[in-house]
Structure 1
């Protein structure tokens, strides 16, 4: 009999642990009913893992939520937009790795798996990423109290093309999905042909977009005094996304009296994530934490 109750007790303990883990980490679909701007397609979502997990053909956009323990929480959250040129998502390197890392500083890390603007499953391809980003931010703000987050301390972070999406959210927001701050890591900002990343531009807007669409998604042109405070990181030798993207956005923010902190490294290239293998870059993430703590 004692053996029976001991096993029951162990089972209940395991169930409690699992429930706690699930409460701290879960995935939520962005759209519970029909996905807006979607069209019927045989396209299947694909995920491959080499040096990083790459997701393409996103069909079920979602947020993956990582919450810190209640005792460690500083009641702040960051929605993370992985990069990938609007063609794939570098989902762990520029997503879940950072979400888990933020938890160590008491910050909720929430990874946005957003739709990519391919033609097969999107009616108007360029609309879908921003739709998903707005919906993700709205869900986080609506869930803030339940998740132990202050609704006015929820920001967005993006890498490369994910930085373009993050800065698009920060300059094209509606009242219910305005981020409270932005962190843009080697971001694509402009769609103008002189300094854009052409792969991201072609994937998002098509190969021959009209000028109005190019201007609309050139986020250095969309800054207002309501744009949220921003942290920017870039490397001067970035051959994929020219540093002028960040320089132009910094200037626009400064012109509109928006608080902005920018860190430029002379070397580093592009797509380095945490930069762990480069001692020159490896401390940049701590600069972000310092900035977040001073907001």
Structure 2
């Protein structure tokens, strides 16, 4: 209980002390050195430094964009130790990075490796949309972590990917497309992960159209404007005649296309009062998973919360138990 209270207090700082509560995302020039504030805002972490080994890695470059990941490894472990690993993809509407839980505390207190990945995003007007490079970059991150598993003390058979909002889309893609290279369409064991946690995540972009045709749903746009706008930041800058593109960019699409998803365990979390991403996105994805072989699937609906990282923090005990369950 004490840890949970500390985490909730940290959440207050994260949500109200640094990140704006608007739909605007915080963008960052990832060609510049990664500032510490992007992962641990407004906090003195000096007391944690002796307890952590930290790595800042340029894991790939796509279209001239240098993409970074941070790895936090607890100290005081044996040289041969292999630890459960939690890989976090932040939200941000596919145009920025917003929503970072206290990963350093998780690494120290829970004795696991905690990673944050800054995947490929849109940067209008130069980069008009993030798909498919966002998915490709996420797979490159997993491949880097597994290739360097011994260096980072990662147990390659105990990797959980997680994300909030747009980051949840990326995490869900990695689970739905588990172990299959997105570019070559061929199996690659270096891309296999074990668990997925998706919080308030867009999982089916094709719902902006009516019944599988090319007609955009005006009523959907009127009610879910932020979701609707995020679709075009992710998939295409031209919403006309793009049903096929929105479908193929959706994690739910791959559930029926990839054969080894039964190896993945799923935890879906969603705020019932979410006015940015419909709760139906998680419910429909959950129902689709239940019809397929899997290692377990659970949906947690937070009855009093909206589109907020608080959904992650309130379910923190479930998340830690899930990550250590492999």
Scaled to the shorter chain, the TM-score interval is 0.7 to 0.9
Alignment of 1:261 onto 2:298: yes
TM-score computed with the length of structure 1 as normaliser: 0.74
Task: Tell me the residue number matched to 1:226.
Answer: 260
Task: Tell me the residue number matched to 1:27.
Answer: 56
Choose the corresponding residue for 1:157, options 162, 172, 180: 162
Alignment of 1:147 onto 2:147: no
Task: Tell me the residue number matched to 1:271.
Answer: 308
In 2, the alpha carbon distance for the partners of 1:216 and 1:128 equals 13
TM-score computed with the length of structure 2 as normaliser: 0.68
1:46-195 → structure 2 map (5 Å cutoff): 59-71=65-77, 75-90=83-98, 93-94=99-100, 97-122=102-127, 125-172=130-177, 173-174=180-181, 175=188, 176-194=190-208
In 1, the alpha carbon distance for the partners of 2:311 and 2:201 equals 15
- Higher CA-based Rg: 1
After TM superposition, which residue ranges in structure 1, 4 or more long, deviate above 6 angstroms?
none
- Compute the displacement of 1:183 (Å): 0.9
In 2, the alpha carbon distance for the partners of 1:124 and 1:284 equals 31
Cα gap change, 1:121/1:155 in structure 2, threshold over 3 Å: closer, same or farther? Answer: farther
Cα gap change, 1:205/1:248 in structure 2, threshold over 3 Å: closer, same or farther? Answer: same
In 2, the alpha carbon distance for the partners of 1:262 and 1:102 equals 25
Which stretch has the larger CA shift, 70-79 or 183-192?
Answer: 70-79
Cα gap change, 1:234/1:156 in structure 2, threshold over 3 Å: closer, same or farther? Answer: same
Aligned residues: 245
Structure 1 unmatched ranges of 5 or more: 1-16, 40-58, 276-281
What are the superposed Cα offsets for residues 75-100 of structure 1, whole Å, 9 maximum, x if unpaired? Answer: 1112110001112101xx425x2354
Larger relative contact order (Cα-Cα within 8 Å, sequence gap ≥ 6): 2
In 1, the alpha carbon distance for the partners of 2:148 and 2:132 equals 25
- Compute the displacement of 1:120 (Å): 4.6
Task: Tell me the residue number matched to 2:321.
Answer: 290
Choose the corresponding residue for 2:282, options 246, 264, 274: 246
Cα gap change, 1:193/1:283 in structure 2, threshold over 3 Å: closer, same or farther? Answer: closer
Contact 2:198 2:267 in 1 (8 A): yes
- Compute the displacement of 1:125 (Å): 3.9
In 1, the alpha carbon distance for the partners of 2:274 and 2:314 equals 18
- Compute the displacement of 1:178 (Å): 2.3
